[in-house]
Structure 1
Amino acid sequence: MNGSSRREPHAAHPIKLGFVINDIATEKDNYTTVRLARRAVARGHSVAMIGLGGFIYDSDGTVHAHAHVPRRTDYRDDADFLADLQAADAEVARISVEALDVLMLRSDPAEELNERPWAPNSGLLFAQLAALRHVIVLNDPTHLTDASNKTYFQHFPEEVRPVTCITLDVEEIKSFIAAHDGHCVIKPLQGSGGQSVFVVTPDNTANLNQMIDAVVRDGYAIVQEYLPEARNGDLRLLTLNGRPLQVDGKYACFRRYNDSGDARSNITAGGKVELAEPDADALRLAGIVAPKLIRDGMYLAGLDIVGDKMMEINVDTPGGINMAEELTGVDFSGHVIADLERKVGLREHYNRTLSNNELATM
């Protein structure tokens, strides 16, 4: 499967689906958001792409947004779909956010750090208003606010996490590194995609001050013990409703690695991917973190696993569905859209009395 066009089963009851993104101009055709949106359109649903700066709180107390709207249903692939939305004459509509059935929050806060630091929190606040109007908002916007940086990971059981120090103090960082025999990873508390991530070894301590400066200039640093298995990359395992995403016996899972000598395996940092099955350690870790993911309404998440530890949990813009589909030939994105259809049905069966947090991982 390469994301090409094909005949999709239409849902019995079309739904209105909104995706909150950073900005339509910065979307890329290999993003999970684009794959999900195109699959939803192909299944007969209406889709709206809402940038973080597109929300409107009207004088009558209703929430609207300026959104980019697909003009067709027969897109060849993700690139064709995105080209339509990014075209100079793309259709932009003023939509009622409250009339949506589902609002998926797919913006990356790290992209807004420098130019628009106000944007991520503003998007979450508008999303909370939508949830009060019984729009199903995923992931749950209240708990996403709590997860605005990597300290969220420290609320998961200690057993799943590497030993970690979070500080702005340079001497504290150096002391932690010394206590771990000069082997550590330093990265920003707020960030994604492998930006400003450094692996410290006894061989490169001459550059330690520069590494620390590069991280703490934007805020707190996370310093973690180095896991030797990381030299072989990491495992990305996607979860849905708090559990590993599995369709037709295949997991949405792959190994990310970098054979260029760069320690980062993130795809945006030049990493590569290969098909991988989650091993016993990965499934055990997924089982341990599931209760909190479910309790917090984290509908779609990405677990980054190295050996028997979890390096991170991505709950803002977990990606990789398109890569998992291309490696396995399994329609994971169609499964996600069908699951959203199911949630909308449950909301109506219960006369909109279920809370957003309940519906998020139900």
Structure 2
Amino acid sequence: MKIAFIINDHETEKVNYTTPGLGYSAYKRGHDVYFIGVGELSYASKGHLSIRCKTIKDANFNSQETYFKALQKESFTTISSENLDILFLRNNPADEINKRDWAQNAAYIFGEIAMSNGVIVLNHPSSLASAVNKMYFQHFPEILRPQTIVTRDHNEIKAFFKDQKQKMILKPLQGSGGTNVFMMDKKNEHNLSQTIDAICRDGFVIAQEYLTEASNGDTRLFLMNGEPLQADGKYAMMQRVNASGDIRSNIHAGGKPQPAKMTDQIMKLAELVRPKLVQDGMFLVGLDIVGDKLMEINVFSPGGLNVINQMYDADFYAPIIEAIEKKVYYKSMYEGYLQNSRLATL
């Protein structure tokens, strides 16, 4: 099959990221693999995408790192969406905020065009468009979520702070990686107005219940086709432990990864989110869990599989590529009968 991955930019994509790992796994299985920066997308007059991309063929590599370094040294080539089987949207719109605002929604806009050309697009682009900020999270059952308000009103946030016994989390509606996430309590209450102002500069503020279990970090669990991702009988999950004195457990923010154990509580939580993820065509997502609550659902470019692979000495990339191969097969068998949103999680 011919599979293309959209990344933010070739200059910022690192060799150990999850997306190069997925690409290398597909390459080892004999597929044609292409990497596309958001800025390399274009719409041709004939109604299809004409894409500048990087690819490499007919070479042997002994690791993800050597593969991706060699690919990045290749000159750009062009491919049409008419010749693609899969377009995997793996860019993170949050990384473009206040940098390249035009790039935030480009991938799923162009993804819609690719879909009309018969390409299977993952995750489903129409659903990604509605999930570009953390408000998507509020569409899942209330029992899964910490108490939350989303507003720009200082008085509402201060009233929520009082209701939460003067301890809560503040973060922007848009963003990822632990950027501009603050824990407010009695000690820093004098900075509350200033903190709200700082977050409001970029839009709406999420004020969220503080979960005491968060002091131990959070659990990142990958779901594929709505089910916990497994390889060799092991689950793709890790505990991310906060750096000293930091409420954030994101790896990019200094969180330390540790092995995590699947529990009945986590499995029940995953089962509750499955129906909507399947309905929305969310093929590969990352759940961030604290206790029995979901903190976030990363539907754009959940990372950390490289760390999890090493942690458990397992290959979690392979079952993802195998699942994509099945989608291509199903599409060929049911030409014109299966919509992209259904194929995405089939």
With the shorter chain as reference, the TM-score category is: over 0.9
Unaligned segments of structure 1, at least 5 residues: 1-14
Tell me whether 1:288 sits opposite 2:272 in the alignment. Answer: yes
Segments ≥4 residues shifted beyond 4 Å:
none
Per the alignment, in what secondary structure is the counterpart of residue 181 of structure 1? Answer: coil
Aligned residue in 2 for 1:6: none
For residues 221-276 of structure 1, the C-alpha deviation after alignment (integer angstroms, 9 at most, x for no partner) is 11100000000000000000011111222100110012321110001101110111
Partner of 1:191: 175
- 1:1-362 equivalences under 5 Å are 15-71=1-57, 73-87=59-73, 90-362=74-346
Other-structure match for 1:9: none
Select between 77-86 and 93-102 the one with higher mean Cα deviation: 77-86
Distance 1:204 1:79 in 2: 44
How far, CA to CA, are the matches of 2:8 and 2:243 in structure 1? 31
8 A Cα contact 2:42 2:49, kept in partner? yes
Could you tell me which amino acid in structure 2 is paired with residue 57 of structure 1?
Y
Distance in 2, Cα, partners of 1:118 & 1:109: 10
For residues 128 and 182 of structure 2, the distance between their equivalents in structure 1, rounded to whole angstroms, comes to: 27
Q: Take 2:65 and 2:314, find their aligned partners in 1: how far apart are those partners?
A: 20
**Residue type matched to 1:154 in 2?**
Q
Counterparts of 2:58 and 2:150, CA distance in 1: 48
CA distance in structure 2 between the aligned counterparts of 1:353 and 1:51, rounded to whole angstroms: 31
- CA apart distance, 1:74: 2.3
In structure 2, how many angstroms separate the alpha carbons of the residues matched to 1:272 and 1:216?
Answer: 30
C-alpha distance in 2 between matches for 1:352 and 1:329: 40
- In 1, the alpha carbon distance for the partners of 2:198 and 2:92 equals 21
TM-score of the pair, normalised by structure 1: 0.93
Q: Which amino acid aligns with 2:88?
A: M
Separation (CA, whole Å) in 1 of partners of 2:72 and 2:323:
28
Checking the alignment, whether the CA contact within 8 Å between 1:255 and 1:274 is kept in structure 2 is yes
Cα distance between partner residues in 1 of 2:188 and 2:219 = 26
Deviation of the 1:204 alpha carbon: 1.8
Which piece of structure 1 moves more, 254-263 or 155-164? Answer: 254-263
Q: Under a length normalisation based on structure 2, what TM-score does the superposition of the two structures give? A: 0.97
Q: Which residue of 2 aligns with 1:4?
A: none
For residues 94-143 of structure 1, give each alpha carbon's deviation from its aligned partner in whole angstroms, at most 9, with x where no partner exists.
11123111110001011111121121322211101111122110000011
Q: CA RMSD in A?
A: 1.3
Q: Deviations over 1:297-327 (max 9, x none)?
A: 0000000000010000000111121111111
Contact kept in structure 2, 1:137 and 1:356, CA below 8 Å: yes
SS for the counterpart of 1:66 is: strand
Alpha carbons of structure 1 residues 317 and 157: separation in structure 2 relative to 1, 3 Å: same
The C-alpha deviation readout for 1:78-102, integer Å capped at 9, x for no partner, is: 3323322333xx2211111231111
Shift of 1:29: 2.2
**1:229 maps to amino acid:** E
**CA deviation string 1:139-198 (max 9, x = no partner):** 000111011100000000101000001011122211111110111000110000000000
Bigger drift between 274-283 and 203-212 goes to 203-212
Classify 1:152/1:73 alpha carbon distance in 2 versus 1 (closer, same or farther; 3 Å): farther
Q: Distance in 2 between matches of 1:171 and 1:86?
A: 50
Deviation at 1:21, TM superposition (A): 0.8
- 1:30-73 CA-partner distances (Å, limit 9, x unpaired): 31101101111111111111111111211122211101113554
Distance across 2 between alignment mates of 1:72 and 1:203: 61
Paired with 2:55 and 2:154, the residues of 1 have a C-alpha distance of 48
User: Given residue 149 of structure 1, which amino acid in structure 2 is its aligned partner?
Assistant: N
Partners of 1:37 and 1:64 in 2: CA distance? 20
Equivalent position SS for 2:38: strand
Return the alpha-carbon distance in structure 1 between the equivalents of residues 318 and 166 of structure 2. 46
3-state SS, counterpart of residue 24 of structure 1: coil
What SS does structure 2 have at the residue aligned with 1:118?
Answer: helix
SS for the counterpart of 2:199 is: helix
* Cα distance, 1:277–1:98 mapped onto 2, change above 3 Å: farther
Percent identity among equivalent residues? 48
Which amino acid letter does the alignment assign opposite residue 68 of structure 2?
A: L
For 1:91 and 1:38, locate their aligned partners in 2 and report how far apart those are by CA, in whole Å: 18
Return the letter of the residue paired with 1:318: P
- What is the SS of the residue equivalent to 1:76? coil
User: Equivalents in 2 of 1:158, 1:49: separation in Å?
Assistant: 38
